[in-house]
DNA sequence: CCTCTTGGCAAACGTATGTTTCAAACATCC
DNA sequence: GGATGTTTGAAACATACGTTTGCCAAGAGG
């Protein structure tokens, strides 16, 4: 099982380092020496750095997409409609459970990666993720529509992206923000409470309809 | 005035390229050849790439900070309290006017930079900006408190960061989102309308209080 | 006229990066 | 147990980067 070991050690190291410093700022040498594997192992097992980046995302998104699909199946089985808050907490718990609730830091660091995937150019990643996970996300958004009957499609489009921004930004900078809060007020936050706040914020914002 | 020309050409090129591709992904060679100046000019005029990055931010933030201060002065002169919506649209118009409303693209691309400053590690930038513009931002947040009397300090802290995330994310990806919307619905957005939507979204979300 | 400063230019420097190579070690199967 | 295919290891490769250097042109001041 030497191979699986090596591959996973590389993925672990890459995931943590990418989340911490970004893609371009993380060299293969840093990754391989953190993972205690030979430099050439990355190109041997993954082919290139680009493919490594994609593999990191796939390893996280695959269970998430499955978990989200399962929960949607279960929730839709009753036949009754899902409310906005149902849908939001369903998504939140799918994300949290995708790799065990215990490892909340991993979730936070994945949110950071998600943010990076958007902000850092990495066009190849965006395209790759879209055509691999587009159907799940479309299914989710389609459920949002009847949950917010007062919204036009354009309202829904922008509101969901505002919400996505709030989530990605705040969770991906959770570490820095928590430190800032502690500086200012001496208090410390717990990530579950922040997620609760975030869901409330999003829920209120998403329902806003704007006539232009 | 050969110098000012060179300095500004570098700043223009750097601003656009950084916004488009990020800091690490933009080389000095790309910047200088876009700006039609010699490679050594960057290190001659700015000292280093780090200082160039800072200079790009200062060139944008300085007028913005001034414009925001002025507007706050003017608004506070009447003596009457500022509502949340007053404060939000005041900030929005300060940002838009900081470099002329005509060049909305420049504002969008600056939002992208702002997002990068958060997500890309660039610790030096974060510290530098904080101690240079911390006082203006503190002043603004202090006005937010009485405008949302029902909020605890912790509510306000997280809600403002959620709002910041929504703004930075959506505006900095405005180009991509607009294209996506057009693909989906054939419609096209105008950025002023999106800003209007964003303000409504934020206004609703910020006022949410959460008991934990 | 000479000197000194400022800005620009081409070339080079040193380093770090992603990738490739090739031989050695290892595992697997007949 | 030897042959075969797979995985590691150390080294090299080619390239791209930020930065530095040394020289030249133009202008200012005495």
Task: Pick the range with the lowest mean pLDDT from A15-19, A39-43, A76-80, A156-160.
Answer: A76-80
Quote the pLDDT of residue B121: 60
Our measurement of the distance from residue A65's CA atom to the centroid of its chain's CA atoms, rounded to an integer in Å, reads 11
**Residue B188: count of CB within 10 angstroms of its CB:** 9
Q: pLDDT digit string (tens) for A80-93?
A: 889 999 999 999 99
Nearest-5° angle of CA B55, CA A182, CA A23?
A: 50
Determine the distance between A6 (CA) and D1 (C1') in angstroms: 29
- Checking if the pLDDT of B93 tops 60, the result is yes
B212 domain-assigned: no
B21, exposed or middle or buried, with CB in 10 Å at 0-12, 13-18, 19+?
middle
A92 and A142 assigned to the same domain: yes
Mean pLDDT of chain A: 90
B126 domain-assigned: yes
Q: Using 50, 70 and 90 to split pLDDT, how confident is the model at A121?
A: low
Q: Using 50, 70 and 90 to split pLDDT, how confident is the model at A2?
A: very low
A77 and A164 assigned to the same domain: yes
Mean pLDDT throughout A96-100? 83
A28 domain-assigned: yes
* A120 contacts B120? CB cut-off 8 A: yes
| Nucleotide closest in space to A44 (CA vs C1') | D7
Which residue segment(s) compose the domain that A26 sits in?
Answer: 1-47
Task: Pick the range with the lowest mean pLDDT from A181-190, A202-211, B26-35, B102-111.
Answer: B102-111
B186 and B113 assigned to the same domain: yes
Q: Using 50, 70 and 90 to split pLDDT, how confident is the model at B80?
A: confident
Quote the pLDDT of residue A93: 93
Mean pLDDT throughout B6-17? 96
Mean pLDDT throughout B1-21? 86
Which 7-26 positions of A have CB less than 7 A from strand C?
A: 26
Quote the pLDDT of residue A4: 61
B58 and B39 assigned to the same domain: no
A115 and A170 assigned to the same domain: yes
Quote the pLDDT of residue B156: 96
Give me the helices (H) in A98-190, please: 104-119, 123-147, 153-172, 174-185
Nearest-5° angle of CA B114, CA A26, CA A166?
A: 35
Mean pLDDT of chain B: 90
Determine the distance between A184 (CA) and D25 (C1') in angstroms: 56
- Checking if the pLDDT of B117 tops 90, the result is no
- The CB-side HSE value for A97 (13 A sphere, CA atoms) comes to 13
Judged by DSSP in three states, B51 sits in helix
- Checking if the pLDDT of A157 tops 90, the result is yes
- Checking if the pLDDT of B2 tops 60, the result is no
A212 domain-assigned: no
The protein footprint on chain C, as nucleotides within 7 A of a CB, is 6-12, 16-22, 26-27
Rounded to the nearest angstrom, the minimum Cα separation between B198 and chain A is 7
CATH of the domain at B21: 1.10.10.60
* A120 contacts B154? CB cut-off 8 A: no
Quote the pLDDT of residue B4: 64
Interface residue of B196, B197, B207 to substitute, partner A, most A CBs within 10 Å: B197
B11 domain-assigned: yes
B65 and B140 assigned to the same domain: yes
A113 and A58 assigned to the same domain: yes
A153 domain-assigned: yes
Quote the pLDDT of residue A122: 64
A211 domain-assigned: no
- For residue A165, which residues of chain B lie inside 8 Å, CB to CB? 165-170
Quote the pLDDT of residue A102: 67
Judged by DSSP in three states, B95 sits in helix
Find the residue in B nearest to A165 (Cα).
Answer: B166
Structural domain total, chain B? 2
Quote the pLDDT of residue B122: 65
Nearest-5° angle of CA A127, CA A87, CA A57?
A: 30
pLDDT above 70: percentage of residues in chain A:
95
Q: Using 50, 70 and 90 to split pLDDT, how confident is the model at A1?
A: very low
B43 and B54 assigned to the same domain: no
B27 and B106 assigned to the same domain: no
- Checking if the pLDDT of B195 tops 50, the result is yes
Q: Using 50, 70 and 90 to split pLDDT, how confident is the model at A201?
A: very high
* B197 contacts A158? CB cut-off 8 A: yes
B39 and B106 assigned to the same domain: no
Which residues of chain A from 23 to 52 reach within 8 Å of chain B, CB to CB?
A: 24-25
B61 and B133 assigned to the same domain: yes
A109 and A155 assigned to the same domain: yes
B211 domain-assigned: no
DSSP string, B9-53: HHHHHHHHHHHHH-STTS-HHHHHHHHTS-THHHHHHTSSHHHHH
Task: Pick the range with the lowest mean pLDDT from B7-16, B53-62, B107-116, B120-129.
Answer: B120-129
Between B189 and A7, name the one with better pLDDT.
A7
Instruction: Record the tokens describing residue A29, joined without a space.
Output: 């040498």
CATH of the domain at A61: 1.10.357.10
- Checking if the pLDDT of A3 tops 60, the result is no
Query: What predicted TM-score, i.e. pTM, was given to this entire model?
Result: 0.89
Last residue of a domain, one of B15, B30, B47: B47
Instruction: Record the tokens describing residue B24, joined without a space.
Output: 């690490």
Mean pLDDT throughout B42-61? 96
Q: How large is the angle between the packed helices B104-119 and B2-21, nearest 10 degrees? A: 70
């Amino acid at each position: 099982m030497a191979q699986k070991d090596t591959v996973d050690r590389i993925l672990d190291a890459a995931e943590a380092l990418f989340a911490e410093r970004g893609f371009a700022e993380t060299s293969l040498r840093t990754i391989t020496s953190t993972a205690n594997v030979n430099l050439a192992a990355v190109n041997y097992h993954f082919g290139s750095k680009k493919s490594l980046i994609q593999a990191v995302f796939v390893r996280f998104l695959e269970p998430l997409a499955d978990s989200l699909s399962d929960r949607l199946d279960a929730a839709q089985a009753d036949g009754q409609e899902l409310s906005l808050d149902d849908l939001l907490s369903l998504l939140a718990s799918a994300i949290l459970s995708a790799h065990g609730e215990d490892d909340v830091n991993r979730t936070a660091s994945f949110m950071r990666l998600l943010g990076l995937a958007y902000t850092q150019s990495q066009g190849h990643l965006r395209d790759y993720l879209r055509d691999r996970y587009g159907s799940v996300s479309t299914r989710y958004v389609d459920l949002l529509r009847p949950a917010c009957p007062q919204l036009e499609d354009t309202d829904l489009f922008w509101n969901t992206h505002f919400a996505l921004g709030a989530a990605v930004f705040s969770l991906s900078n959770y570490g820095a923000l928590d430190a800032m809060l502690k500086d200012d007020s001496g208090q410390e936050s717990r990530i579950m409470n922040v997620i609760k706040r975030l869901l409330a914020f999003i829920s209120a914002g998403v329902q806003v309809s704007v006539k232009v």
